[in-house]
Amino acid sequence: MSDITVFGYTDSQILDAIQEHGSYRKAAAALGVNRRTIERRMSRIKNMEAGRDRARVLFLDIETAPIMASVWRIWQENVGLEQIRQDWHLLSFCAKWMGEDHVYYDDQRKASDISDDKPLLAQLHALLDEAHVVVAQNGDKFDLPKIRWRLLKAGFNPPKPFKTIDTLKILKRNFGATSNKLAFVSDQLLSNRKEEHKEFPGFQLWSECLAGNKRAWEEMRTYNIVDVLALEELYLKLRPWVPHHINVGIYTDHEEPTCSRCGSHNLQLVGTVPTNVNVYPLYECKDCHGHSRGRQTMVTTAARRNLLVAA
Protein backbone atom coordinates (compact mmCIF):
# COMPACT_ATOMS: atom_id res chain seq x y z
CA MET A 1 0.00 0.00 0.00
CA SER A 2 1.29 3.46 -0.87
CA ASP A 3 1.15 6.52 1.33
CA ILE A 4 0.91 8.88 -1.63
CA THR A 5 -1.43 11.84 -1.36
CA VAL A 6 -4.02 11.86 -4.15
CA PHE A 7 -6.65 14.60 -4.13
CA GLY A 8 -5.86 15.54 -0.53
CA TYR A 9 -5.65 12.19 1.29
CA THR A 10 -3.23 9.29 1.52
CA ASP A 11 -4.32 5.67 1.29
CA SER A 12 -3.65 5.35 5.03
CA GLN A 13 -5.96 8.28 5.79
CA ILE A 14 -8.69 6.75 3.63
CA LEU A 15 -8.41 3.41 5.43
CA ASP A 16 -8.38 5.10 8.85
CA ALA A 17 -11.54 7.07 7.99
CA ILE A 18 -13.37 3.91 6.86
CA GLN A 19 -12.36 2.09 10.04
CA GLU A 20 -13.39 5.00 12.24
CA HIS A 21 -16.76 5.71 10.61
CA GLY A 22 -17.72 2.17 9.58
CA SER A 23 -18.76 2.73 5.96
CA TYR A 24 -17.62 4.28 2.69
CA ARG A 25 -20.51 6.76 2.77
CA LYS A 26 -19.75 8.05 6.28
CA ALA A 27 -16.02 8.14 5.61
CA ALA A 28 -16.61 10.15 2.43
CA ALA A 29 -18.83 12.63 4.31
CA ALA A 30 -16.21 13.03 7.05
CA LEU A 31 -13.44 13.68 4.52
CA GLY A 32 -15.60 15.92 2.33
CA VAL A 33 -15.26 13.80 -0.81
CA ASN A 34 -17.64 11.84 -3.01
CA ARG A 35 -18.42 8.24 -1.97
CA ARG A 36 -17.33 7.04 -5.43
CA THR A 37 -13.90 8.56 -4.75
CA ILE A 38 -13.58 6.34 -1.68
CA GLU A 39 -14.75 3.27 -3.62
CA ARG A 40 -12.26 3.89 -6.44
CA ARG A 41 -9.38 4.36 -4.00
CA MET A 42 -10.28 1.16 -2.13
CA SER A 43 -10.51 -0.77 -5.39
CA ARG A 44 -7.02 0.44 -6.32
CA ILE A 45 -5.62 -0.47 -2.89
CA LYS A 46 -7.08 -3.98 -3.13
CA ASN A 47 -5.68 -4.45 -6.63
CA MET A 48 -2.22 -3.37 -5.51
CA GLU A 49 -2.33 -5.62 -2.44
CA ALA A 50 -3.34 -8.55 -4.66
CA GLY A 51 -0.37 -7.84 -6.91
CA ARG A 52 -2.44 -6.83 -9.94
CA ASP A 53 -1.42 -3.87 -12.09
CA ARG A 54 1.69 -3.24 -10.02
CA ALA A 55 3.08 -1.18 -12.86
CA ARG A 56 1.14 2.05 -12.50
CA VAL A 57 0.68 3.23 -16.08
CA LEU A 58 -0.85 6.71 -16.43
CA PHE A 59 -2.38 8.07 -19.65
CA LEU A 60 -2.18 11.86 -19.74
CA ASP A 61 -3.17 14.85 -21.87
CA ILE A 62 -3.09 18.57 -21.07
CA GLU A 63 -4.43 21.68 -22.75
CA THR A 64 -2.72 25.03 -22.30
CA ALA A 65 -3.70 28.65 -22.78
CA PRO A 66 -1.97 30.43 -25.68
CA ILE A 67 0.73 33.03 -25.26
CA MET A 68 -0.85 36.46 -25.82
CA ALA A 69 1.43 38.91 -27.64
CA SER A 70 1.29 42.20 -29.54
CA VAL A 71 2.54 41.81 -33.12
CA TRP A 72 2.72 43.87 -36.31
CA ARG A 73 2.46 41.04 -38.82
CA ILE A 74 0.70 37.69 -39.13
CA TRP A 75 3.40 35.91 -41.14
CA GLN A 76 6.91 34.97 -40.01
CA GLU A 77 6.81 37.28 -37.03
CA ASN A 78 9.54 37.05 -34.40
CA VAL A 79 7.96 37.81 -31.04
CA GLY A 80 10.22 39.47 -28.49
CA LEU A 81 9.75 38.87 -24.77
CA GLU A 82 8.69 42.50 -24.30
CA GLN A 83 5.81 41.89 -26.72
CA ILE A 84 4.25 39.16 -24.54
CA ARG A 85 1.19 40.43 -22.68
CA GLN A 86 0.13 37.12 -21.09
CA ASP A 87 2.21 33.94 -20.80
CA TRP A 88 0.76 30.47 -21.21
CA HIS A 89 -0.59 28.32 -18.35
CA LEU A 90 -2.60 25.13 -17.95
CA LEU A 91 -6.25 25.24 -18.97
CA SER A 92 -7.22 21.62 -18.31
CA PHE A 93 -5.91 18.11 -17.91
CA CYS A 94 -7.23 14.60 -18.28
CA ALA A 95 -5.65 11.42 -16.94
CA LYS A 96 -6.52 7.75 -16.57
CA TRP A 97 -4.83 4.75 -14.97
CA MET A 98 -4.52 1.66 -17.13
CA GLY A 99 -6.84 -1.04 -15.84
CA GLU A 100 -9.19 1.41 -14.10
CA ASP A 101 -12.43 2.89 -15.41
CA HIS A 102 -12.30 6.28 -13.73
CA VAL A 103 -11.17 9.27 -15.80
CA TYR A 104 -9.66 12.24 -13.96
CA TYR A 105 -10.50 15.64 -15.45
CA ASP A 106 -10.26 19.19 -14.16
CA ASP A 107 -10.03 22.64 -15.69
CA GLN A 108 -9.84 26.34 -14.90
CA ARG A 109 -13.44 27.31 -15.65
CA LYS A 110 -14.26 28.17 -12.01
CA ALA A 111 -10.91 29.73 -11.12
CA SER A 112 -11.08 33.33 -9.89
CA ASP A 113 -7.74 33.85 -11.66
CA ILE A 114 -7.60 31.62 -14.74
CA SER A 115 -3.82 31.93 -14.92
CA ASP A 116 -3.43 30.47 -11.41
CA ASP A 117 -3.21 26.78 -12.35
CA LYS A 118 -1.79 25.60 -9.00
CA PRO A 119 -4.89 23.46 -8.15
CA LEU A 120 -4.45 21.56 -11.43
CA LEU A 121 -0.73 21.23 -10.81
CA ALA A 122 -1.33 19.75 -7.35
CA GLN A 123 -3.49 17.02 -8.85
CA LEU A 124 -1.02 16.35 -11.66
CA HIS A 125 1.86 16.20 -9.21
CA ALA A 126 0.03 13.59 -7.11
CA LEU A 127 -0.73 11.45 -10.16
CA LEU A 128 2.80 11.68 -11.56
CA ASP A 129 4.21 10.90 -8.12
CA GLU A 130 2.36 7.57 -8.16
CA ALA A 131 3.13 6.62 -11.77
CA HIS A 132 5.76 4.13 -12.87
CA VAL A 133 5.09 4.88 -16.55
CA VAL A 134 3.43 7.90 -18.19
CA VAL A 135 1.98 7.54 -21.70
CA ALA A 136 1.19 10.60 -23.83
CA GLN A 137 0.97 11.56 -27.50
CA ASN A 138 3.93 13.90 -28.06
CA GLY A 139 4.37 13.84 -24.29
CA ASP A 140 8.18 13.89 -24.32
CA LYS A 141 8.22 17.14 -26.29
CA PHE A 142 5.06 18.91 -25.09
CA ASP A 143 2.95 17.67 -22.16
CA LEU A 144 5.67 16.64 -19.71
CA PRO A 145 8.09 19.57 -20.24
CA LYS A 146 5.13 21.97 -19.92
CA ILE A 147 3.98 20.32 -16.70
CA ARG A 148 7.52 20.30 -15.26
CA TRP A 149 7.98 24.01 -15.98
CA ARG A 150 4.71 24.97 -14.31
CA LEU A 151 5.49 22.73 -11.31
CA LEU A 152 8.93 24.30 -10.97
CA LYS A 153 7.52 27.83 -11.31
CA ALA A 154 4.80 27.11 -8.72
CA GLY A 155 7.32 25.84 -6.17
CA PHE A 156 6.57 22.10 -6.22
CA ASN A 157 9.25 19.51 -5.54
CA PRO A 158 9.80 17.05 -8.42
CA PRO A 159 7.58 13.95 -8.43
CA LYS A 160 9.19 10.55 -8.09
CA PRO A 161 11.04 9.40 -11.25
CA PHE A 162 8.95 7.63 -13.88
CA LYS A 163 9.44 6.22 -17.36
CA THR A 164 7.73 7.76 -20.38
CA ILE A 165 6.17 6.26 -23.49
CA ASP A 166 5.48 8.70 -26.33
CA THR A 167 3.02 7.20 -28.83
CA LEU A 168 3.96 9.83 -31.44
CA LYS A 169 7.59 8.62 -31.34
CA ILE A 170 6.42 5.01 -31.62
CA LEU A 171 4.37 5.82 -34.71
CA LYS A 172 7.20 7.76 -36.36
CA ARG A 173 9.87 5.15 -35.68
CA ASN A 174 7.99 1.96 -36.46
CA PHE A 175 5.16 2.66 -38.92
CA GLY A 176 4.48 4.45 -42.17
CA ALA A 177 1.03 5.92 -41.61
CA THR A 178 -0.07 8.76 -43.87
CA SER A 179 -0.25 10.94 -40.77
CA ASN A 180 0.90 10.35 -37.21
CA LYS A 181 -1.66 12.73 -35.73
CA LEU A 182 -3.92 11.19 -33.10
CA ALA A 183 -7.04 12.22 -35.07
CA PHE A 184 -5.87 10.30 -38.14
CA VAL A 185 -4.62 7.11 -36.49
CA SER A 186 -7.64 6.92 -34.18
CA ASP A 187 -9.94 7.13 -37.20
CA GLN A 188 -7.98 4.37 -38.92
CA LEU A 189 -7.47 2.01 -35.96
CA LEU A 190 -9.69 2.73 -32.97
CA SER A 191 -13.24 2.63 -31.66
CA ASN A 192 -12.51 5.71 -29.48
CA ARG A 193 -12.13 8.09 -32.41
CA LYS A 194 -10.75 11.51 -31.65
CA GLU A 195 -13.09 14.14 -33.12
CA GLU A 196 -12.26 17.77 -33.65
CA HIS A 197 -14.27 20.30 -31.66
CA LYS A 198 -17.14 21.16 -33.99
CA GLU A 199 -19.11 23.93 -32.27
CA PHE A 200 -15.95 25.90 -31.60
CA PRO A 201 -13.51 24.90 -34.35
CA GLY A 202 -9.80 25.53 -34.25
CA PHE A 203 -8.47 28.29 -32.02
CA GLN A 204 -12.01 29.46 -31.29
CA LEU A 205 -12.36 26.80 -28.60
CA TRP A 206 -9.42 28.22 -26.63
CA SER A 207 -10.51 31.85 -27.04
CA GLU A 208 -14.07 31.03 -25.96
CA CYS A 209 -12.85 29.14 -22.90
CA LEU A 210 -10.70 32.11 -21.92
CA ALA A 211 -13.81 34.28 -22.33
CA GLY A 212 -15.75 32.04 -19.90
CA ASN A 213 -18.12 30.43 -22.42
CA LYS A 214 -19.71 27.45 -20.58
CA ARG A 215 -20.48 25.53 -23.79
CA ALA A 216 -16.86 25.93 -24.88
CA TRP A 217 -15.64 24.56 -21.55
CA GLU A 218 -17.91 21.52 -21.96
CA GLU A 219 -16.54 20.97 -25.44
CA MET A 220 -12.99 21.30 -24.05
CA ARG A 221 -13.85 18.67 -21.44
CA THR A 222 -15.14 16.24 -24.09
CA TYR A 223 -12.15 16.96 -26.34
CA ASN A 224 -9.68 16.32 -23.53
CA ILE A 225 -11.34 13.12 -22.28
CA VAL A 226 -11.76 11.58 -25.75
CA ASP A 227 -8.07 12.26 -26.39
CA VAL A 228 -7.10 10.19 -23.33
CA LEU A 229 -9.49 7.34 -24.15
CA ALA A 230 -8.14 7.25 -27.70
CA LEU A 231 -4.58 7.43 -26.34
CA GLU A 232 -5.11 4.38 -24.12
CA GLU A 233 -6.64 2.33 -26.93
CA LEU A 234 -3.88 3.39 -29.33
CA TYR A 235 -1.15 2.45 -26.87
CA LEU A 236 -2.65 -1.02 -26.34
CA LYS A 237 -2.76 -1.47 -30.13
CA LEU A 238 0.86 -0.37 -30.53
CA ARG A 239 2.31 -2.13 -27.47
CA PRO A 240 3.04 -5.57 -29.00
CA TRP A 241 4.82 -3.89 -31.94
CA VAL A 242 7.21 -1.70 -29.93
CA PRO A 243 10.86 -2.87 -29.97
CA HIS A 244 12.67 -2.48 -26.64
CA HIS A 245 9.47 -1.68 -24.76
CA ILE A 246 9.87 -0.56 -21.14
CA ASN A 247 10.00 -3.70 -19.00
CA VAL A 248 6.90 -3.54 -16.78
CA GLY A 249 7.49 -7.14 -15.73
CA ILE A 250 9.84 -5.90 -12.99
CA TYR A 251 6.79 -4.73 -11.01
CA THR A 252 5.16 -8.17 -10.90
CA ASP A 253 5.79 -11.59 -9.33
CA HIS A 254 8.95 -13.24 -10.67
CA GLU A 255 8.16 -16.83 -9.66
CA GLU A 256 7.45 -17.62 -13.31
CA PRO A 257 8.23 -16.00 -16.68
CA THR A 258 6.60 -12.59 -16.98
CA CYS A 259 5.68 -10.61 -20.11
CA SER A 260 8.00 -7.62 -20.33
CA ARG A 261 5.29 -5.49 -21.99
CA CYS A 262 2.17 -6.09 -19.87
CA GLY A 263 3.31 -8.09 -16.82
CA SER A 264 1.18 -11.16 -17.62
CA HIS A 265 2.27 -14.70 -16.81
CA ASN A 266 0.11 -16.08 -19.63
CA LEU A 267 3.04 -16.90 -21.91
CA GLN A 268 3.82 -19.55 -24.49
CA LEU A 269 7.30 -20.62 -25.60
CA VAL A 270 7.23 -20.16 -29.39
CA GLY A 271 10.84 -20.54 -30.45
CA THR A 272 14.20 -18.86 -30.11
CA VAL A 273 15.68 -15.47 -30.91
CA PRO A 274 19.39 -15.04 -31.77
CA THR A 275 21.79 -12.24 -30.97
CA ASN A 276 25.24 -12.05 -32.51
CA VAL A 277 26.74 -14.58 -30.09
CA ASN A 278 23.83 -16.18 -28.21
CA VAL A 279 20.40 -17.77 -28.65
CA TYR A 280 17.60 -17.12 -26.19
CA PRO A 281 14.10 -18.58 -25.68
CA LEU A 282 11.31 -16.55 -27.29
CA TYR A 283 7.92 -16.21 -25.59
CA GLU A 284 4.60 -14.88 -26.92
CA CYS A 285 2.17 -13.28 -24.48
CA LYS A 286 -1.34 -14.64 -24.93
CA ASP A 287 -2.79 -11.46 -23.37
CA CYS A 288 -1.06 -8.56 -25.16
CA HIS A 289 0.37 -10.66 -28.07
CA GLY A 290 3.82 -9.15 -27.69
CA HIS A 291 7.08 -11.10 -27.69
CA SER A 292 9.69 -11.29 -24.94
CA ARG A 293 12.94 -13.17 -24.82
CA GLY A 294 14.46 -15.02 -21.92
CA ARG A 295 17.71 -13.83 -20.36
CA GLN A 296 19.41 -17.21 -20.02
CA THR A 297 21.29 -18.30 -23.12
CA MET A 298 20.61 -21.65 -24.75
CA VAL A 299 24.17 -21.85 -26.08
CA THR A 300 26.52 -23.86 -23.89
CA THR A 301 29.75 -22.41 -22.54
CA ALA A 302 31.75 -24.84 -24.68
CA ALA A 303 29.88 -23.82 -27.81
CA ARG A 304 30.44 -20.12 -27.06
CA ARG A 305 34.18 -20.72 -26.83
CA ASN A 306 34.17 -22.01 -30.41
CA LEU A 307 31.79 -19.35 -31.77
CA LEU A 308 33.48 -16.80 -34.03
CA VAL A 309 32.25 -13.34 -35.03
CA ALA A 310 33.07 -11.32 -38.12
CA ALA A 311 36.22 -9.24 -37.80
For domain 248-305, say whether CATH 2.20.25 is its number. yes
pLDDT at 6 over 70: no
Q: Where are the domains of the chain?
A: 1-50, 54-241, 248-305
| Three-state DSSP class for residue 19 | helix
* CA 38 to centroid of chain Cα atoms: 22
Question: Distance between CA atoms of 79 and 84, rounded to whole angstroms?
Answer: 8
Work out the average pLDDT over 11-30: 85
pTM of the model: 0.81
282 exposure class (CB count in 10 Å sphere: 0-12, 13-18, 19+): middle
Q: Which CATH architecture has domain 1-50?
A: Orthogonal Bundle (1.10)
Question: Distance between CA atoms of 103 and 122, rounded to whole angstroms?
Answer: 17
Q: Is 8 left (phi over 0), alpha (psi -120 to 50) or beta?
A: left
**Dihedral in degrees, nearest 10, Cα atoms 284, 286, 290, 291:** -10
What is the reported pLDDT for 3?
Answer: 46
pLDDT band at 44 (very low <50, low <70, confident <90, very high): low
Work out the average pLDDT over 188-215: 89
**Dihedral in degrees, nearest 10, Cα atoms 31, 35, 36, 40:** 50
**Cα torsion 246, 251, 257, 263: sign:** negative
Query: What average pLDDT is seen over the chain?
Result: 90
User: Which of 26-30, 51-55, 162-166, 273-277 has the lowest average pLDDT?
Assistant: 51-55
What is the reported pLDDT for 17?
Answer: 86
Q: What is the CATH number of domain 54-241?
A: 3.30.420.10
Task: Say which residue, 174 or 42, is predicted with more confidence.
Answer: 174
Question: Distance between CA atoms of 140 and 182, rounded to whole angstroms?
Answer: 15
